[in-house]
């Protein structure tokens, strides 16, 4: 694995930790489940659906691009378009901070569906698209056969999702456990930290870097 691929994988792990710490991705719901049932097992059970929903949201974003990358001659254009989409979504999130009202209709008991919807609404998977496309470039085989490219790209997409969600649920789960064990939801409500602006800016930065690298690549 070359240095570029190493940095890209580290970026996937870092983004997972970042998403996990962000309360918007659901760890307070795991704390709530533990406190309501008065057992840490309920907290741990809640982490499973949160992870599954986030995982599916990542794949929904990555798999279409994996299929598109089978068109090897259009790789540069596809990467540029993806970067522009990420930048545009970041600007939108920066200007529009409110959560879609439809998310309020999803009951807390439906954690998997809630996690999937919130990850899509926040662009969690979209943030990973430029990093994923960079990995596909570094790991592309010399054989340009369409079938091999599709198989390789989809395999990388699944691996990216697994690594990212593992880091995300690890960070969020640890934070949820610490709050459950030593604090409570009252502390969370009093000290709520909102990362929406930071999230939006990070989307824009990821898109700008990806666009610069993509256009500058020979």
User: What are the DSSP calls for 109-160, one per residue?
Assistant: T-HHHHHHHHHHHHTHHHHHHHHHHHHHHHT--S---HHHHHHHHHHHHHHH
- Please state, rounded to an integer, the average pLDDT across all residues of the chain: 76
Residue 147 has pLDDT above 60, yes or no: no
Buried residues in 150-183 as b, exposed as e (16+ CB within 10 A): eebbbebbeebbeebbbbbbbbbbebbbebbeee
Give the Cα-Cα-Cα angle 55, 58, 63 (nearest 5 degrees): 120
Give pTM, 2 decimals. Answer: 0.77
Residue 165 has pLDDT above 90, yes or no: yes
Give the tens place of pLDDT for each residue, 36-63: 888 888 889 989 999 999 999 999 888 8
Instruction: Work out the pLDDT band at 30, boundaries 50, 70, 90.
Output: confident
pLDDT of residue 105: 54
Residues 6+ apart with CB under 8 A from 20: 27, 167, 168, 169, 170, 171, 172, 173, 175
Q: Name which residue leads in pLDDT, 32 or 98.
A: 32
pLDDT of residue 213: 65
116 Rama sector, left if φ>0, alpha if ψ -120 to 50, beta otherwise: alpha
pLDDT of residue 166: 95
Give the tens place of pLDDT for each residue, 9-27: 888 898 899 888 888 788 8
pLDDT of residue 50: 92
Distance (Å, whole) CA 214 – CA 77: 9
Eight-class DSSP state of 99: P
Among 33-37, 99-103, 140-144, name the one with the lowest average pLDDT. 140-144
Residue 195 has pLDDT above 70, yes or no: no
Q: Name which residue leads in pLDDT, 63 or 190.
A: 63
């Amino acid at each position: 694995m070359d240095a570029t691929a190493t940095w890209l994988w580290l970026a996937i792990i870092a983004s997972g930790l970042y998403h996990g710490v962000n309360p918007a991705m659901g760890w307070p719901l795991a704390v709530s489940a533990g406190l309501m049932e008065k057992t840490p097992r309920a907290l741990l059970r809640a982490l499973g659906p949160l992870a599954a929903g986030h995982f599916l949201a990542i794949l929904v974003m990555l798999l279409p691009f994996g299929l598109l990358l089978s068109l090897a001659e259009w790789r540069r254009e596809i990467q540029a378009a993806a970067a522009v989409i990420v930048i545009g979504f970041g600007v939108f999130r920066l200007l529009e901070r409110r959560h879609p009202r439809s998310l309020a209709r999803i009951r807390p008991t439906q954690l998997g569906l809630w996690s999937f919807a919130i990850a899509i609404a926040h662009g969690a998977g979209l943030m990973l698209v430029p990093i994923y496309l960079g990995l596909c470039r570094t790991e592309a085989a010399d054989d340009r056969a369409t079938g091999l490219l599709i198989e390789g790209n989809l395999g990388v997409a699944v691996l990216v999702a697994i690594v990212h969600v593992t880091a995300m649920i690890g960070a969020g789960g640890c934070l949820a456990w610490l709050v459950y064990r030593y604090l409570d939801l009252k502390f969370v409500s009093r000290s709520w930290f909102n990362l929406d602006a930071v999230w939006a800016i990070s989307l824009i930065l990821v898109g700008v870097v990806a666009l610069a690298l993509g256009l500058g690549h020979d």
